[in-house]
Structures are given as C-alpha cells and as structure tokens.
Amino acid sequence: MSTTTMATTMARGTMLVAVLGLGVATLGIGGCGQPKAKTGSYNLVVTPDAGLNRVEVDLVGVKTDALGDWQKVDVADYFSGNNAMRQGSRSFTKTLTLSGAPQTVAVTDPIWKEWQQRQISHVFILAGGRGVAAKKELPVTTDVWDVSTINVIVKQAAIDVPTPTRAAKQQ
C-alpha cells in the first residue's frame, strides 16, 4: 500500500471514529446514564392552614448527598434556638413568618439563584411555632414539575403539597 493510500485510509478511519463518537454522545448511549436533572425555579406559594397563627417556616435548599441528614432532622429540635444544622444552613435558607396570609417565594427571588448555584435537588420545608411541628421534603428538579407554581399548605402536624407532579398527572 502506498503512503498516500495509507494516509487517506487512516484519515477516513479517524473521521469515522469521530462521527461515531459524536453520534454516541448525541444519543446519550455512552454509558453515562440519564442526564442529570437540573434545579428548577418555581413560585412557591406557602399558605398556613386555617387557625394557624405566627408560624415560622424555613425553606432549606438541600443537595442529593445531604438528603439523609435532613430526613433525620427533628423539627422541635431544629426550631429550639441552638440547632447546629439550622445555623449552618442560613446561607441557603429562606425563612418566612406566616400570620394568616399566604406568602410567595417568587421565581425571581434571589434564593433560587443560590439554590441553582448549589445544584440542590430538594427544598426541605420545616414549620415551627406554638403547637406546630411539621416537615416536608419537596423535590425541585425540572424532571418532577411541569408547572410554574407549587402550592404548599402548612398544617399543625403536616405540610401538604396539592400541586400534582408530572408523574401524578400522567396516571
């Protein structure tokens, strides 16, 4: 085989490998699994249940690798005034004080930018006050929601999210 023919064959082989590699990357079949879901931005409308007065609500942005720690948090201890997790999470927590009327954490609130930079996957909603102790784990990735507003209802011993997720809508 001549040097010119060999160079042409090698160039074609290199081009074929490059095209196949691009095709694999484009189709996502390179063994890397599903694409990682991104942190979304939503209007979170937080409403106290009828009869609840002066409820403190923390919305804490949590990464996937810290979910287990936050799932174990005792709400009464969290709001006790000297909780290390609460103190350590201030830079990525939005605190609301509910006194009868709903409050909205708008999609334009700077906390969403902070949460997106941290690449959170969940917001833990913790509510405390006189006779109130409740916690809810809320996924906030784009693969879960196809809405712009998520409604949250804080009750005495529970937090409800009546907004249906993408999966619930498909059932």
Q: Per-residue pLDDT tens for 41-62?
A: 999 999 999 988 899 999 999 9
The structure tokens listed for 43 are 């209007």
Are 52 and 101 in contact by the 8 Å Cβ rule? The answer is no
Kindly list the domain boundaries of the chain, sorted by start residue.
1-35, 43-170
pLDDT in tens, 5-46: 544 444 455 443 433 343 333 334 444 555 678 999 999 999
Range 103-132 burial, b when 16+ CB lie within 10 A, else e: bebeeebebbeebeeeebbbbbbbbbbeeb
Are 151 and 103 in contact by the 8 Å Cβ rule? The answer is no
Provide mean pLDDT across the span 60-73.
97
Dihedral of the CA atoms 61, 57, 144, 162 (nearest 10)? Answer: 180
Which has more confidence, 123 or 131? 123
Q: Is pLDDT at 162 greater than 60 in this prediction?
A: yes
pLDDT in tens, 85-114: 999 999 999 999 998 899 999 999 999 999
The pLDDT value recorded for residue 127 is: 97
The pLDDT value recorded for residue 147 is: 96
Residues found in the chain: 171
The pLDDT value recorded for residue 20 is: 37
The CATH code of domain 43-170 reads 2.60.40
The pLDDT value recorded for residue 29 is: 42
The pLDDT value recorded for residue 2 is: 55
